Structure 1
Amino acid sequence: MVQVVDVGSFGRFARLELRHLPPEPGPDAEIAEAVRAASEADAAVVVVGTDHETESEGWDRESLELPGRQCELVRRVAGANPRTVVVVNAGAPVLLPWLDSPEVPATLWWWLPGQEAGTSLADVLSGACEPSGRLPWTLPASHEDVPVPDGVPRGGVIDYAEALDVGHRGWDRLGRTPAREFGYGLGYADWSYGRPRTSPWRDGEPLEVTVPLRNTGPHRSREVVQLYLEAPEGAAGGPAGEDPQRPVRWLAGFAVVEAAPGAAVSADVRVEPRAFQVWDEAAHAWRTPAGDYRLLVAHSSRDVRGEVTVPVRVEA
């Protein structure tokens, strides 16, 4: 402890006081104790993740690995108790090598939950509240799969070679399979999707999309209906005539619905005109390339449940 004492106009001095904490048991003993407790419990909950020392807006992480021996902790506890739930308390992607292991039947991404953390976790694990969130980024399975491995300047220059292919768009462009894709998330029920319907295309007006759904699960549930657009043929892979390069697909809109078990409901999603537009550098304005766009109705960016063609005809 440092104590600062003010001595008036002559100055200030600090007194350093050292306090020694008793020795801690260490990681080996702590993991062994966790395994023992798990083996005697009906179910085990393992909380892993990052903290302010490893994750911050003030610096870049050097690795996507979970700090310390947390992955070892997960595997050993799961080996001692087949009913293990892993809770990941982190605000950014981390590698979870045990995610698809049969020894770990359930994983919950907890984000950075704040002062009501314990209450919220108890509600979700007990079923009082459904975990209905969706991933706002892509969760990689390995360092090597990440489309943009770093943002380190080379020769004093950062080359944003990915252009518009940021986030899940880069994964789509390279055809790589992540551990979990953008928009992924599970709840406590299943949903069936019906055939989507759209309003007629009108230049400068939002496109109204209606998606019928049914809760086919045993619990009341929420579903996040996601819409993705794919550019007309020839525009996604590079310049085609005057069309600029477009992402393979991009998020165009989403809506949340809720229904009781067996109940039907409709999701009404509005796709704004900007979702179809590109920036025209010559004209210094947004414009809408004409063509037949593919509108995908999805549970996530890789789980498409339906599609419809949107003919876009723009007057010259």
Structure 2
Amino acid sequence: MNKVLFKKPKNELETSSRFKRKTNPAIPQELCRSCPSCKNMSFTSDLEKNFHICSKCGYHFRINARQRLSMICDSGTFIEHFKDNTSVNRLDFPGYTEKLEQATLFSHEKEGVVSGVCQINGMDVGIFVMESSFMMGSMGQVVGEKITQIFEYATEKHLPVIGFTVSGGARMQEGMLALMQMAKTSGGVKRHSDAGNLYIAVLTDPTTGGVTASFAMEADIILAEPEALIAFAGPRVIEQTIRQRLPKGFQRAEFLLEKGFIDGIIPRNLHKETLNKLLILHSVLKGGKTNGSI
């Protein structure tokens, strides 16, 4: 049988090179990044100059702990504490040891929080910054211990504490030992507060679960980045439980500010300036000396 007679005809769209779909070359993230909110492309170098904020829509990209410390601390003043504390798989949870190793390689950090002391415009403070790229900043025994220790150190030295939170909540691989950190960190915050010291928390996207239910919401002054998700249970969990759609913006920083759960929303480029003013006001009210002016 002549196969030519049954050959499927091709149209111009199939044969013409003019209509062939062109593949866009992949752009290295080191060079450009796309905004998840407005899809605007920005040079990474421009984002770094703009505090990793989209110049078009104001979206705040997630940044790591070291980047945030460089934005807040006076140059060369940060001294890391408790940096050798690392998690171990005490419960023999399947795959947890491998996850810890992968998280260390991915984040270049030993745990989900970096803590220490620094100066902000010449004023000494205790500081901790949670690391989202280490298992989404989940709170296990070591994270809880490091945060508690920085509050204890600050209490002993009469220092204010600045905390930047980003977390998916308690670390499930550590079970009850992780949940115990909620009470442990809260105790550290309480003793620090009873000694008359200031604690300022800056909640970033996302701050959820046991972190929200403990030290993140126990600060004297609670600030947040724009559009940050701040919740105990996330919106998807709530919707699946109550089988209803949540209102737009529910659990975002703006919603919490409207309801009185936080004290202010501060863009990232104004963090250091705002923290400086609050530290000066607190020092003046305590009758102390400051190295700065409002």
TM tier relative to shorter chain? under 0.3
Task: Tell me the TM-score normalized by structure 2.
Answer: 0.26
Greater percentage in helix = 2
Larger radius of gyration: 1
Greater percentage in strand = 1
Task: Tell me the TM-score normalized by structure 1.
Answer: 0.25
